[in-house]
Structure 1
């Protein structure tokens, strides 16, 4: 029998749901999940398969599925599973051996009972993309008249570390956290001050039609001033990315800068069209390039954790130097509407080296305001700008800047998204 293959709507970090598929005349949702969704020292992974009614959300009982799981093009296992209550739970042990559990020879399927289904496999140690192929053999106790194979892809985030040389031969640690697939190559060029890395990517419409998001994090020390610059330009396969696709986070990890690449489905389609126009027809990889940029675009924007308040921040002059007055200009906005929030109380705080060097409390009667401050000659280096107790609540956000001596050969300002912005990225795109 030739079984047609239907793609899932999209893969995600640890979970993927195929929406509103038709099996024996009923619309269902089919969810595949792997947990934990990060590569860790845990020896065990859990696979959950869940079948629910697309209308009611209730589990669909009494079905048998043929489940095949692939990683890096290799088959990990293919077995039949009985979903008595609409779910199947499979334990993956980090070892080699034979599948164990309760197998019912009458229905030719593994049963999820008090005896857990255990499958030994070392394939989950490396993370990346895991490809599921699922075919219903029976559905609600009835044979499936026109069986189809449904495909889904689930990501286990991976961490990659590299030691590269700077322009004078010193070792610099870099890291990549990939929420898509494993990184196959990484390079830092100290002459051009450019980072490149790549990973496998399927540019077919079948894959791109998923509502996927490709999210990659680049980590390096804040002390590495060659890369600690105002902003960056990002490229994918040589095509310039939109500004919104490359964001900076200086707060999630104390001593590291994180640069996020976030490519939406629309970004991926644009890249495919741009590559075709450039004569690149069938690339097999997705190559990221991170280049330094001296352009600063105001305002810098961050949100509070609950996404209620957006803070816009600018400063003048753009280059912050000791002994010269700097005017910090800010606006509090409704994050949903963009409208200024009037009569907003706040604490404006400057921090250096973990210590507070300046604090001012105020009330933005028209939704915005400004603070003047002159840094002393001893107040150079990395500086945090915090807004706390916004509107008399516990809402807060933070930015980062660099104060440099007037005589410094490298005069720049470093922008940063707040910790909250980084958390929002994780919530929205993974």
Structure 2
């Protein structure tokens, strides 16, 4: 069983075997619906993923129609694609694609003066010979949309109707309709004060603008706020921001992983990813919170501040375990995984590929499998495009969430398939051994006597006021009764305590959250100058 993946790849390469299976899928995805004996859905991905209007002149929009149970593409698909910004229709066109993975080049053109913006949009490409009025998408010919599409930052809605599938002449009984979205980022400029100087930092916000982005030199924590309507959390698919920090920023020179809280509630570790490979001059701190986590947080917040998201991100040492592997063709990979996850969890893996010269291997294609201690493969991923074998990684750095069923020792097998449109001959493989145990809780120096929970409870239910609570906590910190990590005030301060801090106190008093979560709220009060120590 040890070489099943490599054998399968060789078999596919020799006989053009027409199936593809993938364990992980990225991008915005619509809820699946029934189609015959399948559960099908549509996903939409934009490349580059950090496309900026005015900075990038062209983007590739990939719309994929696939079986969500097997992650296999549905072939020979006729699409009707409509793109909206708010209520305004921007594009409306039919397309045909053989492999179920529609690729469209989008060229944003601003300055449309028409009331109906779709009138400014034009389409270029080859007409399909079988499907009337449809533009065909293939490796040799990609259709182009030109017009007021992705020319501004914000959220764009994609309404995709599947008119025909499996065979180009077979129409579905009725259109299968999906709706998904693409978020176009806006750039914001901030600076981090450290070491007596200021370091410029760029934020790519894929929604509302960030405010008050600051760096705490003592705790190395980043804080920011942004508007967010928590009462609508169930309708939000993703909140995402990318923070680009220069590699020269010395406080993070030895930092490889982070943890965070949102309104005092701990985030899932997968929501913060630190990419030190993809870009030459900056490291990218990816912040992303999905719909399920947002809904869970919204319930915890209760009647607290419903229109603000307050984020605290700080280093989490020793959370990431890394290994270097070498391939027979001279390429290398650095593989990292998040040790904060345990068995039965989606373990976050990052794979950075380098060519024989030590440069990031952009447009690399690879496949992988995971084997248990008996050598049995229980996960295989050879990509989802039968016309181009392997998982394509434009940036040379890929992130995967892989479900590990139980504690134990495992082997990750990698196979380099090719680069760009050229296959490696022969394919080149490498392996990495890793071990998954229980979910690890990072050590803490926080010490809080149990009786102090009474104070927190009285404050939360209104028995004592803000001033009494603040002065009490301040006194206990100075006397060493409450011990917290050192925190430096980040600004001039305010006297207003956010409602989520009071919620934290209530949950801590009830035992819903632990000491570390309660102290994160105290640290926030110190950083804002509300508590002075």
TM-score with structure 2 length normalisation? 0.42
TM-score with structure 1 length normalisation? 0.50
Structure with the bigger percentage of strand: 1
Structure with the bigger percentage of helix: 2
